[in-house]
Amino acid sequence: MKTVNHIKLEHFSDEYLDDLKSFELPEEQAQFTALPSKYSEVTEGQFRIVIVNENEPVGFFLLHSTERVKEYTDNPNAMLLTSLSINQTNQGKGYAKQAMLLLNEFVKTEFPNCNEIVLAVNHKNIPAQKLYSKIGYKDTGRRKMGPIGEQFIMSLSLYINGK
């Protein structure tokens, strides 16, 4: 049974640093993402988001509103999501799903100009593809070669019917 309790999304702050640095993934998963320890610094237009369960960081991802987004979509109001990970010890508890569902409201509040989230998922990363499909992301049909092979570009529109 899934044990989603009090998941929330927070902007990165130093209080989470030590926990984020200790994140681990098995080798077969690590190839698909970058661990949060890679992002001790970010550039303008990159935003570190921490997935927090009852005050403990359990996951992490990056949102981008940089020039890089143009490689994934023609929409100037889209943001790119990368480097999603749930720390190994906390996987399979529904945290990623809950976090991705919360992301819609989070983006509306924190980035009100954003009306679409795009992401790239490796063709071999079936768990992540299932996750994104389950919460409404659609395969755009676009393909992009990543460091370890073809990636599907998936997208979620945030403002349906102008709401």
Ligand X SMILES: CC(C)(COP(=O)(O)OP(=O)(O)OC[C@H]1O[C@@H](n2cnc3c(N)ncnc32)[C@H](O)[C@@H]1OP(=O)(O)O)[C@@H](O)C(=O)NCCC(=O)NCCS
Does residue 136 touch ligand X according to CB under 6 A? no
The candidate with the shortest Cα–Cα distance to 110, out of 39, 13, 16, 9, is 9
Question: Are 17 and 50 within 8 A, CB to CB?
Answer: no
Q: Is the dihedral of CA 17, 82, 113, 5 positive or negative?
A: negative
Q: Count residues contacting ligand X (CB under 6 A)?
A: 22
Tell me the closest approach of the beta carbon of residue 2 to ligand X, in angstroms: 7
Chain position carrying tokens 């676009």: 142
Does residue 131 touch ligand X according to CB under 6 A? yes
Does residue 86 touch ligand X according to CB under 6 A? yes
Q: Which residues pair with 61 in a beta bridge?
A: 49
Count CA within 13 A, CB hemisphere, residue 22: 9
Q: Which CB sits closer to ligand X, 130 or 143?
A: 130
Out of 38, 68, 134, 143, the only residue in the binding site for ligand X (CB under 6 A) is: 134
Q: Which CB sits closer to ligand X, 12 or 23?
A: 23
Does residue 29 touch ligand X according to CB under 6 A? yes
Phi, psi of 33 (to 5 degrees): -155, 175
In the complex, the residues that contact ligand X under the rule CB under 6 A are 25, 29, 32-33, 84-86, 91-97, 121, 125-128, 130-131, 134
